[in-house]
């Protein structure tokens, strides 16, 4: 794994921070490794800009802040516009399909989308779209052991909603494996429409 910088961004109320916590816990508590997590909020909580940064490493992390993310997961158009330029050349972009329209994407960026909102609604609760995205992250990147992420989900949500969140994780994971698979070939922007039309 060496060191991987991840930024997750959207708006307040989408569970951006929870997503980052789950990934960080999976990388340093539920499997061997090190992780840091930092977060930023807008002046208001719900509905304003929100982002979280996670660094995963198999060595101690000397600087806890993301400088140029290897992976960017976005759940709002504003987050896409603001943070995509910071993505490392050849980096990986994961987007919530109904909430983000991909445009002006630099050459070489590997971009994948998932209808996270629809999949969450199929489970009866739109608010779990963030955990759907975490499942998608697990399938596409292959960066962390899926079981470590499942354990981190279970450890990070209230007991009353644990089953729902685990089902949300599995929805995203299954979608990612079926449509993309671990570290699939890069997708050019003009191919994104074809991927979005699946499922």
Six token digits for residue 22: 């789950």
The pTM of the full predicted model, rounded to 2 decimals, is: 0.86
Strands 3-11 and 49-57: antiparallel
pLDDT tens by residue, 80-131: 999 999 999 999 999 999 899 998 888 889 999 999 999 999 999 999 999 9
Q: Per-residue pLDDT averaged across 124-146, rounded?
A: 95
Q: Are 68 and 33 in contact (CB under 8 A)?
A: no
Can you name the CATH fold of 3-196?
Pyruvate-ferredoxin Oxidoreductase; domain 3 (3.40.920)
Using pLDDT thresholds of 50, 70 and 90, give the confidence band for residue 179: confident
Beta bridge partners of 101: none
């Amino acid at each position: 794994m060496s060191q991987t910088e991840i930024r997750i961004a959207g708006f307040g109320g989408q569970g951006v921070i929870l997503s980052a916590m789950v990934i960080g816990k999976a990388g340093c508590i539920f499997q061997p490794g090190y992780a840091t997590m930092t977060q930023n909020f807008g002046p208001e909580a719900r509905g304003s800009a929100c982002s979280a940064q996670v660094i995963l490493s198999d060595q101690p992390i000397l600087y806890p802040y993301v400088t140029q993310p290897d992976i960017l997961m976005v759940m709002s158009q504003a987050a896409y516009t603001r943070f995509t330029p910071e993505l490392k050349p050849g980096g990986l972009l994961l987007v919530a399909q109904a909430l983000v329209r991909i445009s002006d994407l630099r050459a070489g960026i590997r971009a994948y989308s998932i209808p996270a909102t629809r999949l969450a609604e199929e489970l009866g609760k739109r608010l779990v779209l963030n955990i759907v995205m975490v499942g998608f992250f697990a399938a596409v990147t292959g960066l962390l052991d899926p079981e470590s992420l499942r354990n981190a989900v279970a450890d990070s949500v209230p007991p009353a909603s644990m089953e729902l969140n685990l089902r949300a994780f599995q929805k995203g994971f299954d979608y990612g494996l079926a449509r993309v698979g671990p570290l699939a070939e890069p997708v050019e922007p003009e191919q994104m429409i074809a991927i979005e039309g699946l499922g």
